[in-house]
Structures are given as C-alpha cells and as structure tokens.
Chains A and B, each alone.
Chain A
Amino acid sequence: MTKKILVVDDDPTIVKYLTNIFNDNGYETCSANEGGEAFEVMKQENPDLITLDLEMPNGEWGPKFFRRLSKQEKFKDIPVIVISGLASRHLSIDKAITWLSKPFDPEKLVGIVKNTIG
C-alpha cells in the first residue's frame, strides 16, 4: 500500500515543494498549515509520517504540537521529521526522528523517509 505523508507548514510555497518531492518519490501526501488543522487532517488521512515546521501561527507551534501528539494514543507513534528555519536544534524536538534545517537537501529528506517508512 502506498504510504502517506502529512506536511505541516504555514508557508504554502514550502508545502507545495514538499508535497512535490514526496509525490515524485511515490508517496501520497496531505497537508495542514498549522498545528490544530494538522490533527483534523490526521484523523481523516491516517498518515504514516509527518514533516513539521516549528514556527506556526496561533500559538500552535512545534512543542505544543508534540505535546498534543504524545497524548493521542492513536497517533503518538507516528514518526515526525522537523524541518525548521531555526538556527540550532530546538529543545523539544528530541522526540522527532530527525531535524532538518531550511534550506534542506531534498535527496537527504527522501533518504530519511525511505529508511523510516519504506
């Protein structure tokens, strides 16, 4: 079965970029532009992996998203890749499987995704 990736980023250009990378590599995609919406999408789409931007509007930023995610039995084990423009590694993202800094290398990203969900 085709694996599905949820892209969470409030910048539509980057959502487009990421979904294109994943589609070209044979993955299905869905997207959300902030943390709250991400949970709605998650319920409907049941993604196998999430890419997450840390800074998002409405206070729904990375750490909060993680906190909510870890409380949801159904979703708490979904692997998360943080893709962020922050200068250095963020405190709360130890829970993420990896951390990529913007601008990132698409091949490296695809490599990580393949290793994680096949």
Chain B
Amino acid sequence: MGHKENEKLTELSAALDALNRGGRPDSSDEETKELAEVALLLKRTGPPPAVMAGLVAKLGDELAAKRKRRRLWLTSGAAGTAAAAMLVFAFNLGPSAPPQPQLAIPPAGSVVIESIPAPQQATDSAAGIAKTDKPKDVAVTDKRLAQTAQTAPAPAREATPPAQDRPVAAPADGGRSEQRLMMAKVQEKAPEKAADKLAQDPAAGVLAWPGRQPDEVTVDKETAIVRQVYGRGDTAIVIIQRVAPDAAKAAAYATADGSAEVRAAKGKLNTVTVTIKDTVVTVEGNLPEDELQKIARSLE
C-alpha cells in the first residue's frame, strides 16, 4: 500500500469521525469526499427501516390501547366520584332528623369567635328567641371574621368579664347594640321589620310623642307590649304599642292592666288605633277622638 493510499484511508477515517461528532467532513481529496457523502447518506437512514416500522407499529397500538384503558378508568372513576357527591348532596338536602348534639360541632375550618351572652331583655322577650340562659356560640365561616378572630391579640371572651360580673347598667343599650353589631357581622341577616324588632326587643321600638316626656313607660317582655303614660288625672293619655299579630293579646293587656288613674277614668276614655311601622298603636285618653288621632299621627 502506497503512502498516498494510506493517507486517503486516514483522511476517510477522519471524515467519518467528523460525521460521528455531528460535523461535516472536510477533505481535499475528491474520492474521500464522495465516500463521506455515502457515509452521510447511511447515517440519514437511521435505524433499519424494517425494525423502525415494526417498533412504531407495535408501540403505537400498545400505547393507544393503554391510553384508552386509562381514559376509561379515569372516566369511570370520575363518574363514581360524581355519583358519590350527588348522594351526599341528596342526603344533605333531604328531610333531616332533629339536630343531634354532635351536629352542633362547628365544621373544620370554622372558628368559634365568641360566646355571645344574650341580653337579658332579649332572652326574656315574647318572641321567645332566647328562653335559655346559655350564651349562644356562634360559628363563623366567614374567612375575614375567622382571620380577625385568629389574629386578634386576645379572644373577646378573655377580654370581657363574665356576664354575671359585668355592671348591670344600661343593659338595653350597650349590650344590645354590641349584640346587634356582632350578629350583623356574623349572620348577615336580612333587615328586620319594625314589628320583629319590637317583638324581640320591645324597648327598642318605643315611639316618641314630640315635645312630651312620658310619666311612665312599661315594657312587657312577655307580650312585647309597650305602655307609655302621659299625664295623670283628667288629661291622662296612654299609648299602647304592640306587635300587629298579637292584637288580641295586647287588647287583653290594655284592658287588664294600667295605672290606677287610667283604670279610674276607663269609663270615659276615647280610643284611637293606628298602625305605625308594622306595629299597632292604641292611643287612649279622655280627649276627643280627633285629638287622639292627631297625637297618634305625631308619634315617631
């Protein structure tokens, strides 16, 4: 083998190495260039075509079948989950048994922010919303409130003394407004009607006779009837305010009860009944009926 022939072999080998590195062969010899082109063509064929075709056909079918099985499994799984969710939903919407004590446990994620002591007036009111002396536990699901409760420096329960230790002063003011505020935040109640308010808290709905101060105001927590007595003796005026549906009860109260002066003058009293803010207001007095009407209309 001549020196030139040996050089060609080495040059071809270098060209193949260059191809194997992903480069392009660079040779000055024409024959080496041509052979390198053949090698490049061989490289482009890739894996043996028969092998490739067999592999692709086999794998393609297998993978597609696997995917179908997987999809079927996922679909049936999703259908099962949906059915379970519907069952749970149906059970929750269906007629439920009376609430069991354990049902009162607040759900996970909710925070009991405060035990709200029901104000004495509210608990004793005729609406009967709170015949119990126990404070109401309010479960909060509102995130903002829960967050506030969690980030608050000290729980409200700890910050405020127990109900029995609190000063009794102004139970109908501070306590009530505090409760209203809390309840509004927590429960987002629909706005209450005046009659509902009166039923729950009779003192809240006392009507005022402009320019006059009542000599006596009595609030019956059981019947939710408010009696305001103006003046004594001959010019005694009694304003009786009550929730509309309990007209019979209120009338019974109005006739059965009352101050001595009023009872004494009962025989010569005129009566006017009007409805103000969903409450029935009876104005009694020894004045003519049109005068009583004027008084009734002026009430705020």
Partners in one complex: no
Task: Give B contacts to A, CB under 8 Å.
Answer: none
